[in-house]
Amino acid sequence: MRLPGRRHFIRLAGGALAAACAAPRLLRAAHASTSTPTSADGLWPNRPLRLLVVYPPGGVSDGMARVLAEPLAQSLGVPVLIENRPGAGGSLGMDALSRSAPDGHTLAFSAISPLTLHPLIARVSYDPLRAVVPVASVMRTPVLVVGTPAFTGRGFGELIAQARREPGAVRWATSGVATIGHMVLAQVRMQSRTGITHIPYQGGGPQVNDALSGQFEVLSTNVAAQQLQYIEGGRLQALAVGARTRIEALPAVPTLAELGFEKANRDSLFGFFAPARTPAAVVQRLNAEINRVLAGDTVRARLREAYNLPAGGSTEDFAREIAADRRRNRELVAGDRSQFD
Q: How many residues are listed for the chain in this entry? A: 341
pLDDT, average across residues 165-177: 92
Pairing of strands 309-310, 143-147: unpaired
CA 70 to centroid of chain Cα atoms: 21
User: Is it true that the peptide bond before 45 is cis, omega within 30 degrees of 0?
Assistant: yes
- Number of Cβ atoms within 10 Å of the Cβ of 134: 27
**Mean pLDDT rounded to a whole number for the chain:** 86
Name the phi and psi angles at 269, rounded to 5.
-105, 125
Give percent of the chain with pLDDT exceeding 70.
85
pLDDT, average across residues 151-177: 94
pLDDT, average across residues 175-191: 88
pLDDT, average across residues 255-260: 97
Say what the pLDDT of residue 180 is. Answer: 86
Please name the CATH architecture into which domain 143-264 falls: 3-Layer(aba) Sandwich (3.40)
CA 69 to centroid of chain Cα atoms: 17
Half-sphere exposure at residue 123, Cβ-oriented, CA atoms within 13 angstroms: 1
- CA–CA distance from 228 to each of 10, 216, 238 (Å)? 11, 18, 9
Say what the pLDDT of residue 194 is. Answer: 93
Half-sphere exposure at residue 339, Cβ-oriented, CA atoms within 13 angstroms: 25
- Listed in sequence order, the DSSP H helices in the chain are 6-13, 16-30, 60-76, 91-98, 113-116, 118-121, 155-165, 180-192, 207-212, 225-232, 280-295, 297-305, 315-335
pLDDT in tens, 216-246: 999 998 888 888 999 999 999 999 999 989 9
Residues 6+ apart with CB under 8 A from 286: 104, 107, 135, 136, 272, 274
Say what the pLDDT of residue 39 is. Answer: 65
What SS3 state is found at 135?
strand
Of the listed ranges 18-32, 195-209, 271-285, 303-317, the least confidently predicted one is 18-32
Pairing of strands 106-111, 49-53: parallel
- CA–CA distance from 152 to each of 156, 167, 171, 214, 215 (Å)? 12, 16, 13, 11, 13
CA distance 180 to 220: 9
CATH superfamily of 6-140+268-340: Bordetella uptake gene, domain 1 (3.40.190.150)
Say what the pLDDT of residue 11 is. Answer: 40
Say what the pLDDT of residue 88 is. Answer: 84
Half-sphere exposure at residue 175, Cβ-oriented, CA atoms within 13 angstroms: 32
CA distance 93 to 91: 5
Q: Who has greater pLDDT, 134 or 183? A: 134
What SS3 state is found at 38?
strand
Name the phi and psi angles at 141, rounded to 5.
-115, 120
> Cβ(136)–Cβ(287) under 8 Å?
yes
Name the phi and psi angles at 229, rounded to 5.
-65, -40
CA distance 126 to 52: 16
pLDDT in tens, 98-133: 999 999 999 999 999 999 988 998 889 999 999 999
Q: Who has greater pLDDT, 261 or 43? A: 261
Q: Who has greater pLDDT, 150 or 338? A: 150
Domain ranges of the chain: 6-140+268-340, 143-264
- Residue 40 in this model has a pLDDT that exceeds 80: no
